[in-house]
Amino acid sequence: MKTDLLKFTDQGGCSAKIPPAQLEEVLKNLPIPVDPDILVNIDTHDDAGVYRINNDLALVLTTDFFPPVCSDPYEFGQIAAANSISDVYAMGGNPVLALNIMMFPAGRLPMEAYSEILRGGFDKASEAGVKIIGGHTIDDAVPKYGLAVTGFVNPSLLVTNAGARPGDWLILTKPVGTGIIMAGHRLGMASDADLEEAKLWMKMLNRSGAAIMTNHSVTGATDITGFGLAGHAIKMARASKVSLSINMRNVPLISKTLSLADDGCLPGACFTNLDYCESETDFSDNLDYSLKMIAFDAQTSGGLLISAPAGTGEKMVAELKEAGLTCTAIIGNVSSYNGKLLYLDN
């Protein structure tokens, strides 16, 4: 019988994150290490930590792992690796080395599934030029996989979620909707073809997006994962001390997303994320309910949200599309802090 990893979990991918409000409650009691060479720490809730080695070189350190997002072990490995590596790209870094992190129900899943997950991770890491040089596995009821990734960045080219500036345009490089599509597929509301489309985006590295934003001297970006487009936009706005405005009509969506949302297919993570963001968000009176909820859909291995100087925005979009990020769009803009961190309109 063919292995189906989804039999082991209700909450796959980045939607399995601890709700952000609870996470912040726990983290706020932990001391933050002080060291002038720590360039980015947990304080700004950025994608990765950054540590300066010298004036030309800093390390970018990050880890991500999650339960299966799809039935096939090899594809799960690919998606989990692409997602883990993405946090280095979101900082403008070049990912170099990684360690496997694996939880696996030995005895309940064939060992072949174990090696297929690792093979998927290895192939995706190789595509990114990342060498996996070790790892750790424990026996656990629900399989989980990801990487701890180390990258390099020149400190002067570092991109953070604190770098958005008033007047910037907001560019999104991948369509939104992976959480809704995966839920829809489980419920029999989305077809295999719809799921294939979502998996294609989840497997895609954010490498070309990162290279293009670095070429244009962008200073602000993040990647869109478990807290959804709105959640990560709010983190960026808070870290940058600005307000972000997003027009949901301009947000690229995976084909079936809007019709699934219209039919009520909204995973629980949409509501958890909305809960966390509601007090910091202004919803325009005419905002369509489905588009509003899509903004909070937990993404797995989502695209980069880039804050680009207005002058370079259009050129960047053209280059990103040419590089295969065909759905790239300008979805909003940045202004001085205006009372709310995020303004959602359509």
Residue 280 is a binding residue for Co ion (CB under 5 A) = no
* Nearest residue (CB) to Co ion, 222 versus 281: 222
Closest contact distance (angstroms) between CB of 295 and Co ion is: 17
Span of 3-11, 43-51, 308-316, 330-338 interacting with Co ion by CB under 5 A: 43-51
State phi, psi for 15 to the nearest 5 degrees.
-70, -10
- Contact predicate 223/90, CB 8 Å: yes
Write the DSSP symbol of residue 160.
B
Least gap, CB of 173 to Co ion (angstroms):
13
Is residue 187 a contact partner of residue 10, using CB atoms and an 8 Å limit? no
Segment contacting Co ion by CB under 5 A, of 60-68, 93-101, 104-112, 178-186? 60-68
Do the bridges between strand 281-283 and strand 342-345 make them parallel or antiparallel, or are there none, so unpaired? parallel
Instruction: Report, in Å, the least distance between residue 178 CB and Co ion.
Output: 14
Total H helices, total E strands in the chain: 11, 13
Residue 64 within binding range of Co ion, rule CB under 5 A = yes
Residue spans of beta strands (DSSP E) within the chain? 38-40, 49-54, 57-66, 94-104, 131-139, 144-153, 169-172, 220-223, 242-247, 281-283, 304-308, 329-336, 342-345
Which lies closer to Co ion via its Cβ, residue 149 or residue 293? Answer: 149
- Identify residues 69-98 at the interface with Co ion (CB under 5 A): 87
Choice between 19 and 167, CB closer to Co ion: 19
- Which is nearer to Co ion, 85 or 260 (by Cβ)? 85
Is residue 46 involved in binding Co ion (CB under 5 A)? no
Residues whose CB falls within 8 Å of the CB of residue 125, separated by 6 or more in sequence, listed in order: 81, 85, 98, 131, 132, 147
Nearest Cα to Cα of residue 156 among 84, 89, 93, 204: 93
First vs last Cα of the chain: how many Å apart?
47
301/328 with CB nearer Co ion:
301
Which residue is closest to Co ion by CB?
A: 47
Lookup: tokens for 104: 């696996």
Residue 47 is a binding residue for Co ion (CB under 5 A):
yes
Q: What are phi and psi of 116, to 5 degrees?
A: -70, -40
Q: In whole angstroms, what is the distance from residue 328 CA to residue 292 CA?
A: 20
Nearer to Co ion, 226 or 332 (CB): 226
Whose CA is closest to 210, among 330, 83, 90, 62? Answer: 90
14 is catalytic: yes
Which among 39-47, 127-135, 164-172, 295-303 is the span making contact with Co ion, rule CB under 5 A?
A: 39-47
Q: How many residues bind Co ion (CB under 5 A)?
A: 4
* Minimum CB distance to Co ion, residue 73 (Å): 22
Q: Which stretch binds Co ion (CB under 5 A): 64-72, 136-144, 211-219, 238-246?
A: 64-72
β-partners of residue 71 are: none
Residue from 14, 70, 270, 277 carrying the catalytic annotation: 14
Alpha carbon distance 84, 132 (integer Å): 12
Minimal distance, residue 87 CB to Co ion, in Å: 4
Q: C-beta of 17: minimal distance to Co ion in Å?
A: 9
> Considering the rule CB under 5 A, would residue 223 count as an interface residue with Co ion?
yes
Q: What token pair was written down for 279?
A: 């007090």
Which listed range, 50-58, 63-71, 179-187, 337-345, lies at the site for Co ion (CB under 5 A)? Answer: 63-71
Residue 7 Cβ, how far from Co ion at the closest point, in Å? Answer: 26
Name the residues that contact Co ion, by CB under 5 A: 47, 64, 87, 223
Active-site positions read: 14
